[in-house]
Amino acid sequence: MREVAFIKQNKAKWLEIEQVIYGKMKKNPDDLSSLYINLINDLSFSQTYYPKSKTTVYLNFLSAQIFQKIYKTRRIEENRIKHFFLTEVPLTVYQYRRYLYYAFVFFILFVGIGVISSIYDKDFATLILGEGYVNQTLENIKKGDPTAVYGTGANWATSIMIIVNNLAVGAKLYVYGIFGGLGTLYALMQNSIMLGAFQFFFKTQNVLLESAKGIWLHGAFEIFGMVVEAMAGLILGASILFPRTLSRLESFKLGFRNSFKIYLSTVPFTIFAGIIEGFVTRYAQTMPLVLNGLIIFGTLSFIGFYYFIYPHIVIKKLNQNAISQGEKIR
């Protein structure tokens, strides 16, 4: 069958599915499942005969959206919050996983710029971090505690201040995505260049390892979370710039709904990072090295697993369930 004829034959059905996705038409769970199975059959046909066509891209997009719609309409017997973090967020991250890769590429690039700038300009760290902070840190290094700045202030007061600040940074990374993603990249660039200059500054003082023992106790959650927030901002920006077959408004509404889920998932990590920084980081230089490494690599492994690996596990599990019912997630 020619592609034009294939589109003409199924166009009405696909438009009906669009209406369901955007809430303009209501369907019960059984009807949704029937629509989904038919759509998957169309997608399989399109992938076989028109693998590089925009039709295939469009059908793949519809199948992902209608799949999420099905699982939202089914009765959720488990706790709603548990379902959000263990099912909804992983499904959404999987759907937009390429944006996580983009965010990490930009993050590494910007950190590298911070390092290279510090190598060729000895005053770059002072320019980025501030003369007061640099001088205070140099004094702490002379006293044998390069991360002593984390030990100042009361535990709770420090934690609350850090949490509020990091939540504000994360919100900027996400909300600035409304400027076509450029605002998100700018905010990510600022923070990443600062991180690169920050770490290289400690290297020039020959205390990189000692500083890492303190900084990365809370930094694994904080920095990784920052990149995921940038991912959410890029999704928001892309929904405006690339509406595909949707109107720009509908694309934005869909992009906002899905990106906000991803952004919201970073909040617990940000809060926990602030608690670690306020209560644990101050003891970084005196705690056993094994415990220090366990916290750093444990937190990094946990958040890395949640965003990189767990979404694939969820999809695989749902695929196995779907196959048994004659369905398949693409």
Read off the pTM: 0.79
d(CA 320, CA 231): 28
Q: How confident is the model over 191-221, as pLDDT tens digits?
A: 999 999 999 999 999 999 888 998 999 999 9
Q: How many CB atoms lie within 10 A of CB 163?
A: 19
CA–CA distances in Å: residue 67 to residues 17, 33, 79, 260, 316: 11, 9, 21, 19, 14
- Tell me the C-alpha to C-alpha distance, in Å, between residue 63 and each of 6, 73, 107, 287: 17, 15, 31, 51
d(CA 80, CA 77): 8
User: For the chain, what percent of residues have pLDDT higher than 70?
Assistant: 89
Question: What is the model's pLDDT at position 74?
Answer: 53
The answer to whether 39 touches 61, Cβ cutoff 8 Å, is no
Q: Give the mean pLDDT of the chain.
A: 87
Contacts of residue 221, defined as CB under 8 A and 6 or more positions apart, other chains included, come to: 269, 270, 272, 273, 276, 299, 303
44: Cβ–Cβ under 8 A, 6 or more apart, which residues? Answer: none
Residue spans of the chain under pLDDT 50? 75, 77, 326-330
The whole-number pLDDT of residue 327 equals: 45
User: pLDDT, tens digit, for every residue of 229-256?
Assistant: 999 999 999 999 998 767 889 889 989 9
Q: Break the chain into its structural domains and give their ranges.
A: 3-75, 92-314
Tell me what pLDDT residue 205 has: 92
Q: Which amino acid is at 18?
A: E
CA distances from 114 to 111, 122, 188, 201 (A): 5, 12, 12, 10
> Is 194 in contact with 129 (CB distance < 8 Å)?
yes
